[in-house]
Amino acid sequence: MIKAVDKTKVPWWVSNVIVPLANLILALIVSGIFIFIAGENPYQAFKLILYGSFGYIEGFGYTLYYATNFIFTGLAFAIAFHCRLFNIGGEGQAYIGGLGVFLVAFYLDFLPIPLLIFLSILGALLFGAIWGLIPGYLQAKRGSHVVITTIMFNFIASAVMVFLLVNIIRDKAQMGPHTEILNKDAWLIMFREIASFFGYKIGYSPLNISFLLAIISSLFVWFFIWHTKWGYEMRAVGYNSNAAIYAGISPNKNIILAMLLSGALAGLLGVNEILGVHHKIIVNFPAGYGFTGIAVALMGRNHPVGVFFAAVLFGILYQGGSEVTFDMPNITRFMFVAVQGVIILFSGALENLFRPQIEHFFVKKLDLGLKT
Amino acid sequence: MVSQPILELQDINKSFGHVQANKNISITVNKGDIHGIVGENGAGKSTLMSIVFGYYQADSGIIKINGKQIEIKSPHQSILCGIGMVHQHFMLVENFTVLENIILGFEGEFVFGKKLKEAKRNLEELCESYNLKVDLDATISDLSVGYRQRVEILKALYRKAEILILDEPTGVLTPQEVDELFKILRSLNDEGKTIILITHKLNEIIALTNKVTVMRQGKIAGEKFTQKTSTEELAEMMVGRSVLLRVEKKEANIGDVILEVRNISVKDDLDVERVKNVSFEIKGGEILGLAGVTGNGQTELLEALTGIRGIESGEIKLEGNTISGKNIFLNPRDLREKEIAHVPEDRQRMGLVTEFNASENTIFGYHHKRPFSNSSILKRSNIYDHTIKIMKEYDVRPQSPFLKTSNFSGGNQQKIILSRELSTDPKVLIIGQPTRGVDIGAIEFIHQRIIDMREKGVAILLVSVELEEILSLSDRIVVMYDGSLVGERTNQDVTDKEIGLLMAGITN
Amino acid sequence: MDIFLELVSILSATLRISTPLIFASMAGLFAERSGTIDFSLEGKMLAAAFVAASSAYVFGSEWYGLLAAILCCIALSMLHGFASVTYKGDQVVSCVAINIMMIGLTAALAAAWFKKAGVTPTLNDQQRFHEISFPFVEQISNIPILGIIYSELISGHHIFIYLAYISVPIVYWIVFKTSFGLQLRAVGENPSAVDTAGISVSLLRYKALAINGILIAFAGTYLSTAVLSHFSREMSAGRGYLALAALIFGKWRPKGALIACLIFAFTDALQMRLQGVAILGIGVIPVQFIQAIPYVLTVVLLAGFVGKAVAPSAIGQPYIKER
């Protein structure tokens, strides 16, 4: 039995970088086993992942494009988590957020472009926020467990959106259930357009300036949680609601606020997908990004910086993963869904599995270092 | 006939971390005795009995049942040895019936049906023979506390307990229910059962037991035959004659009435009345000490005074204005605006967010105001300066504002809370258990700070289970027992014995 | 007469659709009644479907498929148990992890092993389950009304359907009429009471999870070796969550969960029949609305508008001895 280590002596980088890294490595080892069972060489696969995500500029573009989505959904899960709420509804909130984006961008296209883009972003925030607000309200006022309600709202969102896409806002001229395409002016500037402006010619990737929006959102979340009284109160409620009451903080208000903001952040995914990439609403555009956001947030320990790195990591997995599926016939993209699950397992449910050993090791090592 | 020892404990030691809860405890209980174990909070009584019951294992020492040495590694084993425990907090399943709760774990057979009917019949016979009337088909959630306790007793009897241990059984009972319980215990004793009664209430010891062991601070303070001792003697052993840390304090400079409490009643979360028609007032510049063993209503009283819990009836007034009453209820934030500061009893559960770092806790409850935040943005540099300042002033160690609060010792955590509340210059200071789990050096410091507040004219309510603390600091003392205030004394020439008796429920 | 035939057809479909839901909600019942959250029914069902179809193909018999599925699901439940009961980690996260892992792994291995883009090979007649015809079907079917009920509604289903419906009273009997069930329910309400009664809390919870694994395996096996003859990716299609909703709707009681499963299945069967059909005075109800009914109902219930759904008191909290 490892003797418990004096917690004050553990450097923050051990707890927040080494341990998550160790969990990641563990997850990758297990993933390697999965790849092996599937009949392919795990080492080859990992090399392909790195190549696909970094090896060429378009691939890197894709990596960051995926990361953009993961930052939004990761931040969404993370912010709710600071109030001890598990928002599993990122998929649905993103979906409905996309509706908000589209409605503004499509029907208000007479407005000047900067204003239109700005209002579209507001539309995403507003619609996503509503979809998060309802489960939040039900948890605060009626004690309905937010995990279950948000899962239900994912399904309800899907039903609502499919209904709308098939019946109401459909592009009547086309066969598929999707909306008309947005006016070209409303399309967000793409990365390759910026590059060509500076004289670099690069191939297509979906990366667009909503990546910057993701960065801005990260800054906002960081500032909100640690530098405003609202973030302070939210964290207090999340850690200890009894103490929060003692301090005059209302648990109900903060639960509702947390879910509202969480939904809004997830809604921003719509900005990327609809304004930046597809320029229309297609069925199921959230495509699992909402769920991946959970893994991203857990890996990133619910901190915007961690979320950023984890988002890029998952972007690498996704993009590198497609490279693998391209080159290795036995591996489909679903293998990488499984890898996500393993990462969630080791970064979430079993995150402290080897923490005592790791912390003990480092504290000892540092002590020994000091003696000489 | 000479009484045989049925339970012998020899040199039992048990520590939790660096707190030694039991030190070299040796007790002999004879068959057919009603043996009392008495002591204050933290004396180690419950820990000891939990070891006997197999819930914990002793670090060292021997347990003998009927002369045979036994190792009790689990509750299951102790049950098989004939030990039955009635816990302070009932171990019952709320939505099960009485019958289901009693047979849990001792169903006798895999399938119900015939065996259940048989069990029910056996139980009914058991109830008859011990004169314990309970409706076996009633659901626990419908039963009063007194009846729930009977179910716990029946549980033990059904499992053929020969030794019945009751841990603070009367804390939640009405006086009538207490009488009923005593009748039941006496009749069980007549039937040959050995009873061990753990309590802090001396009148119960006198009324029921024939032998009593007094514990204090983890050790045995003495053992007496009940008939040959008195409540005074027992109170003295309970409370001890350690040196009183009397703090230097000047003559009281008492001002006007600041806090007025009139006839308030407060119920707890289970809808049980815990504060019964309590009235008192506190003037500026005086410390009113509220003594009493935990569980007599102090917690609910504190919560009512600080806006965390509402009152059923009565009124609380601050400088003549009602702050809690029929139509008015001010929450903690409002009360802080009105300059009522609160150092809560349970610092980890209520007073701090242990996951926050120290600087975040030094503004807890005041975070929304200047200079700590300005238009909702936290002013980190102001918070840092504030934290450094009070860490220096209150000698909080280590002086690291960004260290997670859970890494501070109990004493330093308490100092963080105190510094936070005291530095706001309040009009009223409500303090619960200020030195619980705090080391000696910090205790002196904290006491001095409280006296300083007194000098400034603050009206102070000090609630504590530590008698020394009450006697050392208070100008006036009241005792809370079973939800009511019993006995008010001015703190001149009053003895700890006297207060101890009041705390134990003995009023003359 | 037509309406009657329609009704029978819809009811028959209801029985079929409800079967995996019933198995899954019974599985969830055992876990949750003992105090362990189980949101991972979806992932386990999927795993069972994949393992059953692949094993049936590889080993040549549907019974091997069932056996393999049972072993697989028990293993997954034990994993969840390890993370939740022994290791006392976050139960929700563990469930989410298992779900996502299984969604991915089943599809990935199906593609890798059988090279058919996420689908396992179709099972031939020897390798899959068949419908069971009750005796004298032909003779009885000519009797008006009763005959049709016998031949369409009662006879002619897979064994799983009969097992599912029999399982409900059996589960009821186990949970409410045996001492094991008593202890199970107790450990989900007040684990301290169980501990002080001398029973191991962990062991009870692991036993409950083992039963959970067995039951959910039936749900998944049914999907891929009886209803269809292969596994295809994500074929559980949210049934695991629906089953959970049914469990909550049924207030964690077998009968209640059964009724909820029937309601959900009925709306599904109805929705398929009603697609495009105009109802008097209302017009065509959009199919999505009908599909959303189970989920909306669950939210309504959780919000306390249809009576209170009180979960077992100790659910989701790891049992730690109090100091």
Residue-wise pLDDT for A128-167, tens only, equals: 999 999 999 999 998 888 888 898 899 899 999 998 888 8
A230 touches chain B (CB under 8 A): yes
Predicted confidence band of residue A16 (pLDDT cuts 50, 70, 90): confident
Q: What is the largest CA-CA distance in chain B?
A: 82
- CB neighbour list of residue A126: distance below 8 Å, 6 or more residues apart: A100, A264, A267
CA distance B365 to C42: 44
Q: Which residues pair with B163 in a beta bridge?
A: B83, B194
Query: What integer pLDDT is reported at residue B259 of this predicted model?
Result: 93
Q: How far apart are CA C112 and CA B398, in angstroms?
A: 58
What's the domain count of chain A?
Answer: 1
CA distance A333 to A51: 16
Give me the total of CB pairs closer than 8 Å, taking one residue from chain A and one from chain B. Answer: 72
B368 neighbourhood in chain A, CB within 8 Å: 229, 233
A8 band by pLDDT with thresholds 50, 70 and 90: low
The full DSSP string for B84-123 is EEE-SS----TTSBHHHHHHTT--SSSB-SHHHHHHHHHH
Q: Tokens 């540092």 belong to which residue?
A: A366
Determine whether the interchain pair B333/A248 forms a contact, defined as Cβ–Cβ distance below 8 Å.
yes
The predicted structure's pLDDT at residue A371: 35
C50: tokens are 């994949």
ipTM: 0.84
Q: How far apart are the first and last CA of chain A?
A: 28
Q: Higher model confidence: residue A95 or residue B501?
A: A95
Using the beta-carbon criterion (under 8 Å), do C100 and A156 form an inter-chain contact? no
**Residue-level pLDDT at A352:** 78
Chain B residues in contact with C179 (beta carbon < 8 A): 103, 107-112
Of A208-212, A270-274, C114-118, the range with the lowest mean pLDDT is C114-118
Q: Which residue of A has its CA nearest to B302?
A: A246
Phi, psi values for residue A243, rounded to 5°:
-65, -35
pLDDT tens digits, one per residue of A76-134: 999 999 999 999 999 999 999 999 999 999 888 888 888 999 999 999 999 999 999 99
pLDDT surpassing 80 at residue B115: no
Residue C157 has pLDDT above 50, yes or no: yes
Mean per-residue pLDDT of chain A: 87
**Partners of residue C194 in chain B, C-beta under 8 Å:** 104-105
Residues A367, A368, A369: CA angle, nearest 5 degrees: 90
Q: What pLDDT score does A331 carry?
A: 83
Is B54 a residue whose pLDDT tops 90? no
| CB contact (8 A) between residue C177 and residue B85 | no
Please provide the size of chain C in residues: 323
* Per-residue H/E/C for B315-356: EEEECCEEEECCCCECCHHHHHHCCEEEECCCHHHHHCCCCC
DSSP 8-state class, residue A353: S
Sheet of B19-30, strands arranged across:
B19-30, B5-16, B60-65, B68-70
- B204 near B181, Cβ under 8 Å? no
- Mean pLDDT on C258-284: 77
CA B499 centroid distance within chain: 17
Mean pLDDT of B177-186: 87
Per-residue burial over A293-330, b = 16 or more CB atoms within 10 Å of its CB, e = otherwise: bbbbbbbbbbbbebbbbbbbbbbbbbbbbbbbbeebeb
Q: Which residue has the tokens 């890798």?
A: C112
Give the nearest chain A residue to C110 (CA atoms).
Answer: A38
Q: B240-244, B249-253, B292-296, C95-99: which range is least confident on average?
A: B240-244
Evaluate whether C148 touches C155 at the Cβ level (below 8 Å): no
Nearest-angstrom CA–CA distance, B489 and B491: 6
CB atoms within 10 A of CB B222: 16
Contact C96 A142 (CB under 8 A): no
Over residues C161-174, mean pLDDT: 94
Cβ–Cβ contact B364 with C under 8 A: no
Residues B191 and B160 sit within 8 Å (Cβ to Cβ): no
* Structural domain that includes position A162: 69-188+202-295
Band (C278; pLDDT cuts 50, 70, 90): low
Q: Which residue of A has its CA nearest to B373?
A: A229
- The C-alpha of A259 sits at a distance from chain B's nearest C-alpha, in angstroms, of 19
With an 8 Å Cβ cutoff, are B91 and C193 in contact?
A: yes
Query: What are the structural domains, with CATH classification, of chain C?
Result: 2-128+138-302 (1.10.3470)
Min Cα separation B154/chain A (Å): 36
- Between A16 and C284, residue with greater pLDDT: A16
User: SS3 of B486, please?
Assistant: strand
Pick the most confident of A16-25, A345-354, B456-465.
Answer: B456-465
For the cut 50, the answer to whether the pLDDT of residue A370 exceeds it is no
Q: Are strands B257-267 and B273-283 parallel, antiparallel or unpaired?
A: antiparallel
Confidence category of residue C307, pLDDT binned at 50, 70, 90: low
Given an 8 Å threshold on Cβ–Cβ distance, is C189 in contact with B95?
yes
C187-198 confidence digits (pLDDT tens): 999 998 898 888
For range B274-278, the mean pLDDT: 92
Residue of higher predicted confidence among C299 and C148: C299
Q: Cα distance from A152 to chain C (closest Cα, Å)?
A: 5
The pTM for the full model equals 0.83
Alpha carbons within 13 angstroms on the beta-carbon side of residue C153 total 15
Please give the pLDDT value at position C279.
63
Residue B40 buriedness (CB in 10 A; 0-12 / 13-18 / 19+):
buried
pLDDT at C9: 86
Query: pLDDT confidence of A270, banded at 50, 70, 90?
Result: very high
Assess A151–C contact: CB distance below 8 Å, yes or no: yes
Residue from B16, B340, B364 whose CB has the most chain A CBs within 10 Å, to mutate: B364
Name the most confidently modeled range: A346-355, B8-17, B169-178: B8-17
Pairing of strands B5-16, B60-65: antiparallel
Q: Whose CA is closest to A14, among A314, A341, A301, A227?
A: A301
> Chain B 389-408, CB below 8 Å of chain A: which residues?
403-404, 406-407
Which of A228, A240, A242 lies nearest to residue B378, judging by beta carbons? A228
* Lowest mean pLDDT, pick from A100-109, C4-13, C139-148: C139-148
Instruction: Write down which chains contact chain B via at least 3 CB pairs under 8 A.
Output: A, C
Q: How many Å lie between the alpha carbon of C312 and the closest alpha carbon of chain B? A: 10
Residues with Cβ < 8 Å from B216, sequence gap 6 or more?
B39, B40, B43, B237, B238, B239, B240
User: Which residue ranges form the domains of chain B, and what is each CATH number?
Assistant: 5-239 (3.40.50.300), 245-339+427-508 (3.40.50.300), 346-424 (no CATH)
Where helices occur in C115-231 by DSSP H, the ranges are 137-140, 146-148, 159-177, 179-189, 191-196, 201-222
Interface probe with C: pick from A344, A352, A354, A355, most Cβ of C within 10 Å: A344
What's the pLDDT at B2? Answer: 63
**DSSP readout, A120-133?**
HHHHHHHHHHHHHH
Nearest CA to B385 among B356, B362, B352, B404? B362
Confidence of residue A227 (pLDDT cuts 50, 70, 90): very high
For residue B106, the chain C residues in CB contact (below 8 A) are 197
Q: Check CB contact under 8 Å for C189 and B93.
A: yes
What span, in angstroms and rounded, lies between the C-alpha atoms of C171 and C177? Answer: 10
For residue A235, tell me if it sits in a domain. yes
pLDDT of amino acid A4: 57
Calculate the average pLDDT of chain B.
86
Is B353 an interface residue toward A (CB < 8 Å)?
Answer: yes
pLDDT reading at B324 higher than 70: yes
C136 interfacial to chain A (CB closer than 8 Å): no
Which residues does residue B290 pair with via DSSP β-bridges, in sequence order? B463, B478
Residue in A7, A229, A235 closest to B368 by CB: A229
- Is the pLDDT reported for residue B117 higher than 90? no
Q: Is B105's CB within 8 Å of C183's CB? A: yes
Q: Which amino acid is at A101?
A: V
**A44 within some domain:** no
**Neighbour count for residue B421 (Cβ, 10 Å):** 23
**Section A30-39 average pLDDT:** 89
Query: Which of A46-50, A156-160, C315-319 bottoms out in mean pLDDT, i.e. has the lowest?
Result: C315-319
Average pLDDT over residues A182-200: 80
Task: Look at residue B244 and tell me whether its pLDDT is greater than 50.
Answer: no
Nearest residue in chain C measured CA to CA from B94: C189
- The answer to whether residue B435 scores a pLDDT higher than 50 is yes
Higher pLDDT, C243 or A15: C243
Question: Is residue A372 assigned to a domain?
Answer: no
**Residue B240 pLDDT more than 70?**
no
Is A183 a domain residue? yes
**pLDDT exceeds cutoff 80 at B70:** yes
Residue range A311-337: mean pLDDT, rounded: 86
Please list every residue in chain B whose beta carbon sits closer than 8 Å to the beta carbon of residue C182. Answer: 96, 100, 103-104, 107, 112
Could you identify the residue written with the tokens 């009748």? B183
Q: What is the pLDDT of residue C323?
A: 45
Closest by Cα among C69, C83, C61 to C27: C69
What is residue C154's predicted lDDT score, i.e. its pLDDT? 79
Q: What is the pLDDT of residue B366?
A: 92
Q: How far is the C-alpha of A341 from the C-alpha of C106, rounded, in Å?
A: 12
Partner B, chain C 141-200, Cβ-Cβ below 8 Å = 177-180, 182-183, 185-186, 189-190, 192-199
pLDDT, average across residues A253-280:
94
In what helix (H) or strand (E) does residue C106 lie, and over which residues does it extend? helix C91-114
